[in-house]
A and B are shown apart, each in its own frame.
Chain A
Amino acid sequence: MTRSQSLAVGLGALGVVFLLIALLYALGVLQILTSSDSGPHYKHAVLFAVLAVASFVAANFARPKTA
C-alpha cells in the first residue's frame, strides 16, 4: 500500500464520516436507501460502523512509519 500522510488523513476523515453516518442510522435520523421511512436502521448502522473501522485500519496502514 502507498504510504503518505495526506492519504492517511483522508482515510481517517472518511472513517469519521462513516462513524457519523452509522450514528445517524442508529438514531433513526437518516432514512436514505432504507426499506422503511421511520425508525432506526441497525443493519445500515452496523455496516457504516464496519466501514469506519476499515477506514481507520486503512489510514493506519497508509501512515508513513518511522524506522
Chain B
Amino acid sequence: MGLLQGASELFPVSSLGHAVIVPSLLHWNFKQSDPSFVPFLVLLHIGTATALLVLYRSQWVAIVRGFFTAAIRGQIKTDPERLAMLLLVGTIPAAVLGVFLESRIKSFFASPYVAATFLIVNGLLMLGFEVLRRRSERGTSRSEQESHFGDAECISFVAAAIVGACQAFAFVPGISRSGITIGGGLIAGLRHQEAARFSFLLATPVILGAGLIEIPELLHAGIPLGEYLAAAVLSGIAAYASARFLLRYFKSGRLDPYGWYCILAGLAALALLHFGL
C-alpha cells in the first residue's frame, strides 16, 4: 500500500483513487470507512512530502529564505522570493478548501465505483489539458515547442491562486492533485517540466501540513504504528523515484499516456467491480 501510494501520488493518476480501488479489487483488509484509514493515508502522504523535501532541499532552503527576505522587505527582487510568494498564494486556497471541505467531500465520494468513474474523468482532463496546450504550441520538435513556454517563477499570482485552488478537486478520489496542477501550469504557460516542478513544490506544504496536523489522531486511533511507519518509508522511497522519473520524463513527454491510462484503468476497474471479479 505504501509503495502504491508513493508511486501513484506524484504520477497524474490519482493516488487516492488507487488507494480506494486497488484494495477493493485485491480484497485487501482495508475498510475505507474505518477511522484509521484517512490517518493512514495521511501518514503515507508525510512519506511522500518528505521525499519531495529531500528532492528539492536546496530549492526549499532558497524558498524559505526568499519568503522571509521578501516578507520583511515588502518587495520581491529575486526568483526564489517570487517563487516563495507564488507558493504562498497557491497554498492558501487549497488549505482553506481543504480544512472546510476535505472530510465532507472524501466521505461523500469514498466508493470504489465513484473513484473508478472519476479516474476516467481525470483521464479526460489530462487529454483536454494537452489539447489546449497543443493549440498554443509552435514548432515541430518537442524542444522547440517547449522553448516558447516559461519557468515556474514566470507564472502570474492569479494563475498560481487558481492552480492552487484546483488542488481541492483532488479530494475527490480519482482526480489527481498532480495531474490537475500540472495541467493548470501548462495552461498558465509553463513548460511541462516546470509545470511538474511547480506542482510538486505546491503539493509539499499542503501534504506535509495536513499530515503533521493529523499525527495526534494517529496516536489515538489505536493502529499498528510500526507497520504504518514502514509503509510511510516505502511511500517516500517510491515517491522520490517517481519524482525523479517524472522530471526527466516531462523534458519532452506529455500528459497523454497518463490520461489514456486513467481512462483504461477506470473502465477496467468499473468492469471488475461490476462483475465482482
Contact = CB atoms under 8 A, between A and B. Distances in A.
B88 A54 contact: yes
Nearest to B213: A43
A16 interface: no
Contacts, number: 31
Contacts of A54: 88, 92
A47 B72 contact: no
Given A35-B103, A60-B72, A42 B213 contact: yes
Secondary structure of the A contact surface, majority rule: helix
Interface residues of B, number: 16
B71 interface: yes
A60 B71 CA distance: 7
A43 to B, nearest CB: 5
Interface in A17-67: 33, 35, 42-44, 46-47, 50-51, 54, 56-57, 60-61, 63, 65
Contacts of A65: 74-75
B88 A63 contact: no
A43 B217 CA distance: 11
Contacts of B85: 57
Given A60-B72, A65-B75, A47 B99 contact: yes
Contacts of A60: 71-72, 74
A57 B71 contact: yes
B199 to A, nearest CB: 20
Nearest to B72: A60
A47 B95 contact: yes
Instruction: Report the 4 A-B pairs with minimum CB-CB distance, sorted nearest first.
Output: A60-B74, A57-B71, A47-B99, A43-B213
Interface of B: 71-72, 74-75, 85, 88, 91-92, 95-96, 99-100, 103, 209, 213, 216
